[in-house]
Structure 1
C-alpha cells in the first residue's frame, strides 16, 4: 500500500509530487487522464504573462534549494542569462507552462494517460481503479491517503443550443479557435476578468477592416487588479488561517470583498487596450468596437446558419438589447470539477451547505465517522480557504500542510510569519 495517490496533475498536485521527492519515507503516485501535461493550453496567448511572480513556482516558497525551481529550469534550459537581462518578475505564461511540463517529465511518480474511474474504501486506506487510456487496461492501486486535484471545468452561464455550439467558444479553448475568430466578421466577448481582457486585446490587435468587436460584462466596471503590498498580504498563510477560522456565513460574506484582489485585470493589459483604441481614434476615426459594462448575458439563440443572437440586459437601467455575432467567446470563469466517483463519499462527509463540503485547515474532508486515512482536496476550496483556493503561490502552502499531515510530523511547522498585518 502506497502512502499517497494524487488524482489529477495540475500545478497543485504537480507541486505536491515535486516536494514529496524530498521524503524517502513517503511513497506516492499521481494520475492524469490527459496524455501529457498542459496548463490552460487554450489561454497560452503570445505576449501574455503570469499575474504572479516567478517565485510562485512549484517549490521555491518551501525549498528554494530544490532542483525543481523555475530558476533551475532556466539553468537546465540554458536561458538563465537571458532571464537575468529580461529583468521581470512576471514571466510569459507560455514559459511557465514549459517549466511545469519540464518538472512533470522529471518525476517518475507522475503518470499521464491514466484515468481514475473509481475510488472506494479498503481497510485503512483507499482502493483506486485506474484505466490506461491507450489500451484500456485496468489496474488497481491501494493508498492510505488520496489527494483530489482535478481542478475546474468551464462555466457556461446560459444554455447554448446545439446548433449554436460551433459559434460559441469558452475562453479555455481560445487558442484553438484563434485563427477562425480573427477572420470572423463579428465577435462578442463576454466576461470581466483577465482572460476576457487578454482575448479582447488579442482580437483588437488582429482586427481586420470591417470586423466588429464587442465586449460585455455584468460587472459595474472593468476592475483593475489590486496589487498594493498590504492588499497582497491576503495571499499569505497568516490570512488564510484567519479566513478558515471564520464561521461559514462570514466566510461567504467576505468572498465578494476579495474580488478585486483575485479577479481583476492587470493594469498593463487595460492600458494596452486603451492605447490601441486611442491611437485608432486619431483624425476622428472611431474604432469598430463596443465595450459595455453592467450588461448581463441572458440567452443565446441561433439567428441563422451563420450567426447567433445574444440577449443582453443592462441591469442598472433594466434595458434589454439583442445583438448578432458570428462568434461568441465566453470568458465566464470556471466551476469545480468533481469526478463522478466522488458521489460515493457525499453521504459520508460533513457539509457546510448544499454545495460546499467541510474542509479542515490542512485540506482534509471531514468524515462523519472519524478515520485515520484521509481524503484531501485541492478542488472547491473558495468557501473554506478563500484566497488560497487557486493562488499559485499558496499552492505550496497547501502542499506543506498536506505533507505534514501525511507524515504525521508534529515538529515540522509551516511558517506563519508571512504578513505584517494582524487579522484578529
Structure 2
C-alpha cells in the first residue's frame, strides 16, 4: 500500500455499500433510522441516474408507486414517494392522476431527490478493490475527479453493482450511435432521428417502448421489429401470478435444490420479460389507425427470428443477417440504425470474483447465497458480504424487483444492527407454494 493511501485511511464503518442503484439507495435511506449503525455508499457515476437511456416520455414504471425506496419497510419514512410529491407540491395532481403506476421519469426524479438528501451516499467514487482480513473489509476508493485513492474499513459489505447491457459478441464493434443497446436510446435520439430505416431486436418492455416511440413520430423511419421469442407476449399481470414477487416465494424458492431452482427459472420468464398490456394495445391501435384506407403501416413485425450478424456497408447503412428458426431460413435486411433490446447481464467487478474465490459453491460453481442475502463462506466469518448482484439462481426471478429490494434491505439492516429495526412480515400472500411441512424451511 502506498504512503499516499496510508495517509488517506478512514475510520471503520458498520457497513459500506458499493453501487448506488435503487436497491442500495433504499438501503442508505432506511439506515437513517438504524441508530448506532454507521454506513457509507459509493458509486462511480457523478450523480444518481436510473436507466437514463430509457426515460422515454410517457413510459411508466412497471410496479406500483408503493414499491418505492422505503415504503414496504417503513411507510412513515421521510424518503417515501408520497413525501417527495408533497415536497414538490404535486400531491393534488397525483390524486387526480388516480393511478398506481407512475412515470418512469418521475421515479428517477424521486430517487435523485432522495440521493441529494443522504449524506452517506458519495458519487464520483469508484471502488477499485475490496479485501477481507481478520473480520474487517478494506475498501479502496478512487475519487474520479481528484484521482486521490482513499481506504475505508467496514464490518460488512453490501454489493449493489447491478447489471450492464448484454450485446452478443457477433453484434459488437459498430459505432454506438448506429448500433446501440436500448439502454442508450435517449442519448442517441438525435442520431436515430435522421435515419430512414431502423431495426429493433427483442420483445421485452424496452424494445416495445422504443418501437412505439419511433412508430408515433411524424417523421418516423421505416421500422423492422424482430424477436427470437415465439411471439410478442404480454407481461403476466394476474394478481395471483404476481405473488411470486413476495418474501414467501423467496422462502420457498431458496430452499429448493439448485437443480430444481434452475429448472423453474424459465417457467417464470413471462412474469419478468413480457410487455405491458397497455404498451401492446397502444402499438396495435397506432398500426390499426395508420392502415385505415389501405395505407401501409410502415413496419415489419416478426417473431421466431434472431439477429445473427451485423455488417457495415460503404454507404453507412448496415446489413443485418437474421434467421427464422422454425423455417430454418436466413435472410438479410438493410437499415440505417440497429437498436438491440438484448437484455442485461450481472455487473460483477473483478475484485468481487477475488473476494469470493474461497466462498462456498453449489452445483457447477454457482455462488452459494444464504437466504438473508449474504454469501456463504466455509469460515463462517463475522463480517458478512451481502449482495443483490447475480442472485437469480438462489432467490428467484423476482429477486431484483423493486419492492423485494426493500425486503432485502430490511433483512440486512436487522442483521447488521443485531435487533429488529424493521419488522419482517410473515405470510404476505394468499397462496401456498410448497407442502405444509416445508413452508418455513426457506426462511432459516
Please give the TM-score of this superposition, normalised by the length of structure 2: 0.93
Question: CA 1:10–1:305 in structure 2 vs 1: closer, same or farther (change >3 Å)?
Answer: same
For the 8 Å contact 2:309–2:322, the answer to whether it is kept is yes
Between the aligned partners of 2:355 and 2:431, the Cα distance in structure 1 is 39
Between the aligned partners of 2:375 and 2:110, the Cα distance in structure 1 is 31
Of residues 257, 260, 265, the one that matches 2:270 is 260
Of residues 168, 171, 178, the one that matches 2:189 is 178
Offset at 1:345? 2.0
Of residues 143, 157, 160, the one that matches 1:149 is 160
Between the aligned partners of 2:131 and 2:172, the Cα distance in structure 1 is 37
The corresponding residue for 1:269 is 279
The corresponding residue for 1:167 is 178
Gap runs ≥5 in structure 2: 1-11, 435-444
Of residues 140, 143, 165, the one that matches 1:132 is 143
Of residues 280, 295, 298, the one that matches 1:288 is 298
Offset at 1:346? 3.5
The corresponding residue for 2:374 is 364
Question: CA 1:161–1:333 in structure 2 vs 1: closer, same or farther (change >3 Å)?
Answer: closer
Within-5 A mapping of 1:167-316: 167-206=178-217, 208=219, 211-316=221-326
Give yes or no for the alignment of 1:74 onto 2:62: no
Offset at 1:301? 1.6
Question: CA 1:23–1:203 in structure 2 vs 1: closer, same or farther (change >3 Å)?
Answer: same
Between the aligned partners of 2:138 and 2:355, the Cα distance in structure 1 is 13
Offset at 1:77? 0.9
The 10-residue stretch of structure 1 (117-126 or 127-136) with the greater mean CA deviation from structure 2: 117-126
Between the aligned partners of 1:305 and 1:105, the Cα distance in structure 2 is 47
Gap runs ≥5 in structure 1: none
SS at match of 1:373: coil
Between the aligned partners of 2:76 and 2:423, the Cα distance in structure 1 is 18
Cα-Cα RMSD:
1.5
Between the aligned partners of 1:347 and 1:161, the Cα distance in structure 2 is 30
Of residues 1, 4, 16, the one that matches 1:5 is 16
The corresponding residue for 2:65 is 54
Between the aligned partners of 1:227 and 1:56, the Cα distance in structure 2 is 16
SS at match of 1:38: coil
Offset at 1:388? 3.3
Within-5 A mapping of 1:394-409: 394-409=404-419
Question: CA 1:381–1:163 in structure 2 vs 1: closer, same or farther (change >3 Å)?
Answer: closer
For the 8 Å contact 2:375–2:386, the answer to whether it is kept is yes
Cα offsets for 1:334-358 (capped at 9, x unmatched): 0000112113224211223556311
Between the aligned partners of 2:235 and 2:183, the Cα distance in structure 1 is 21
Question: CA 1:30–1:167 in structure 2 vs 1: closer, same or farther (change >3 Å)?
Answer: same
Please give the TM-score of this superposition, normalised by the length of structure 1: 0.97
The corresponding residue for 1:327 is 337
Count of residues in Structure 1 that have an aligned counterpart in Structure 2:
423
Cα offsets for 1:31-82 (capped at 9, x unmatched): 0110000000000000000011000001111110110100000001111111
The corresponding residue for 2:113 is 102
The corresponding residue for 1:40 is 51
Question: CA 1:163–1:403 in structure 2 vs 1: closer, same or farther (change >3 Å)?
Answer: closer
Between the aligned partners of 1:161 and 1:67, the Cα distance in structure 2 is 44
SS at match of 2:185: helix
For the 8 Å contact 1:161–1:301, the answer to whether it is kept is no
Cα offsets for 1:244-298 (capped at 9, x unmatched): 1111111111111111111111111000000000001111111111000110111
Between the aligned partners of 2:139 and 2:236, the Cα distance in structure 1 is 42
Cα offsets for 1:120-155 (capped at 9, x unmatched): 113211000101111101111000000000010000
The 10-residue stretch of structure 1 (89-98 or 365-374) with the greater mean CA deviation from structure 2: 365-374
Question: CA 1:301–1:411 in structure 2 vs 1: closer, same or farther (change >3 Å)?
Answer: closer
The corresponding residue for 1:16 is 27
